[in-house]
Structure 1
Amino acid sequence: MALSEKMKKFAQAVVDGLSNKEAAISAGYAEKTASQQGSKLRKDPEIIVHIEKLKANKEGRSLTSEKPKVKSTSTHEDDNPLDDEDYAKDDPLQFLIDVMNKSDDMFLRFNAAKAALPYVHGKVADKGKKESQVDDAKAAATGGGKYATRSARKANYS
């Protein structure tokens, strides 16, 4: 959530040295609820960060470190954990399995496993309406009874 204008005014008043209640009143909150609102605003993480930034600007210091960032000599673009000859280029499933087993990056391994899952473990679906009707008809035809076929009746009497 972005800071509203009142919240920014409250933070500036706190940096200027006012109490929570006085800062809330100067920001435009009602005098009756200024104490509660000031306490509530003072605990808000976004306002705490904004207050710290204002204090840092007032004192002339930076919230970030002054150390220069060290650039890596290797870009890791060519660091492929898989050799091109290790897998059959026409089998994407084998490639996904190799990425899943050989890669160091856990996020990449997880995505490869998720992509290979339907190929290894197919989704087991319920029987459809037509399949269950065919099975019921076969059961009625092979069993004895009124709707049994002639060969099924002979098999029961033999």
Structure 2
Amino acid sequence: MAFNSKKRLFADAVLAGKSNKDAAIAAGYSKATASAAGSRLVKDKDVALYLAAQRIQQESKPQATAPTPEEKPAPKFDVEAMTNFTDPKAFLIAAMNDDRTEPKLRVDAAKALMPFVHAKVGEAGKKDAKADAAKKVGAGKFAATAPPKLVVNNRK
């Protein structure tokens, strides 16, 4: 399911410090099902990625007594670029390689990238497997021999 306005409202309420149930109510979910909706939404991949991105962004905001640029170590990951990705594959690679992202989210990003990096091996039937095995055997004991060369003499 897509990341819609209700999910964004829920995530913003969680970032504000509300509990899952209260955040779900604030996002417009029914009070009767708010607890279950909050639990479900926290586990949603889109919401989890949004929460992680927002937390990383909040951590990287300059402090009131920020050290000078010479004292500050260079960040490993450009937080501003994380919210400006146009390519989902590049975003997932960046999220997977970011040390500050939760390990579960990094694993989820790696799982999502698997089909793009490693091609799935197609299933072969019995006949295909038999033909491949025959090719591997090559010119064995019972393999067909090469046909003889045909030489033509044009002498008169």
Query: Aligning the two structures, in what range does the TM-score lie when normalised by the shorter sequence?
Result: 0.3 to 0.5
TM-score by length of 2: 0.39
Relative contact order: is structure 1 or structure 2 higher (C-alpha 8 Å, sep ≥ 6)? 2
TM-score by length of 1: 0.39
Greater Rg, structure 1 or structure 2? 1
The structure whose residues are more often helix, as a share, is: 1
